[in-house]
Amino acid sequence: MEIERIYKIPSRSFFLFGPRGVGKSTWIRKRGHFDLAIDLLRQDIFLRLQREATLLEAQTAHLPTGSVVFIDEIQRLPELLNEVHRLMEERKLDFILTGSSARKLKRAGTNLLAGRAHTYKMFPFSLMELGSRFSLDSCLKYGTLPIVLRDMDLAEETLSSYVGTYLREEIKEEALVRRVEEFNRFLAIAGQLNGSVLNFQNVSREAGKSAKTIQSWYQILEETLLGTLLEPYRPGFKTRESGHSKFFWFDAAVARVAAGLSWNDLDNTWKGFAFESMILRELQIYKEISRKSNHLFYYATPGAGEVDFIVETRPKTINHPQEFISIEVKFASKWRRDSEGPSRCLRDVAQKSHKRMIGVYTGTERLTLDSFEVLPLPVFLDELYRGALF
């Protein structure tokens, strides 16, 4: 059974970024309209255009004004964007440009066509896309990458291959580190720390590299779309608000395999971080398809604990204070009242800026406890994608 994606094809030129295996090319080929496709993963095509980027003009010479050209894996040849830009201006062609990393494009000094093509992101399947095929246990165990779900009998082998081949080959291909074996050790540590507050000094001691190197390696993971550095919310309500980022992998099962862990090795703490990663990804997917610009954070202070997610619904201006909602995520079938503590402490100091307190858990009852809304996962997803949360 084919799973229908939740995204819509834009009506003008666009970039579509996302890690390999999320189904970008498959989706474009099935749902997009284009008059010419150029696959830069094909070595013969890549080498010809690498030698002479102007061949792109010859390949498109027969196309009338308004035609659409699909170029897959554009990050392999950043210099081709100069020709794309020129053909958009002079020939009025539109382009669909997909890639598994924007890092090379940015580092090569390209400007992503100066705004002439909007940028979109694709993620693994959302829980809404899975519909009746959704199983929390399966998603926590194997993730939701399309290439993994394609054959569940080989899910673990596919994940191992993905980490062993794609992640490390991607790093090699982009020449991002000098010694790949050292980066492999870092990947294992980063997998174990999925969803945790980062302390680069602590990670550097474990990995045997400088804190500056560790910070740059986390940036590599983010720029190659393998995860998100979630920044702390620091509105100044208290003087000792956390200043450390968290890193969430784009798929918790990929983090697990990178860490060298089997499903049987995992305790509820790790599964809790995996569940939290899943909720963050749903928030990101909703932001992407709705094209909303709300910023996502987490919030923590030494005394009051940690709020898993903050969604800023209105930024602070000269004439108006910031507004936000808080989301607590618990991998539990029964809601515990002490889980509300961090959000309630934040409300005490933020007052009217704190518009809504929400809890998400794996239970089945919807509860309202003194203004704190507790939502079962399906209810949370329904309200999120209906736009009822933000």
CA–centroid distance for 283 within its chain: 10
Give the model confidence (pLDDT) of 185-203 as tens digits: 899 999 999 999 999 999 9
**Residues near 192 by beta carbon (within 8 Å), at least 6 away in sequence:** 259, 261
277: its two tokens: 């990663």
Q: Is 181 helix (H, G, I), strand (E, B) or coil?
A: helix
pLDDT score for 142: 96
pLDDT score for 108: 61
pLDDT score for 173: 61
pLDDT score for 103: 76
pTM over 0.85: yes
What does the alpha-carbon distance between residue 214 and residue 216 come to, in Å, rounded to a whole number?
A: 5
Q: Looking at residue 144, what DSSP letter applies?
A: -
Q: Which domains does the chain have, with CATH numbers?
A: 14-121 (3.40.50.300), 124-390 (no CATH)
**Residues near 176 by beta carbon (within 8 Å), at least 6 away in sequence:** 103, 183, 220, 224
By CB atoms closer than 10 A (0-12, 13-18, 19+), residue 342 is: buried
pLDDT score for 384: 98
pLDDT score for 305: 87
pLDDT score for 371: 96
What are the residue ranges in the chain where pLDDT is below 50? none
Give the model confidence (pLDDT) of 270-304 as tens digits: 999 999 999 999 999 999 999 999 999 999 988 77
Q: What is the DSSP string of 276-340?
A: HHHHHHHHHHHHHHHT----EEEEEETTTEEEEEEEEEE---SSS--EEEEEEE---SS--GGGG
φ, ψ at 271 (rounded to 5°): -65, -35
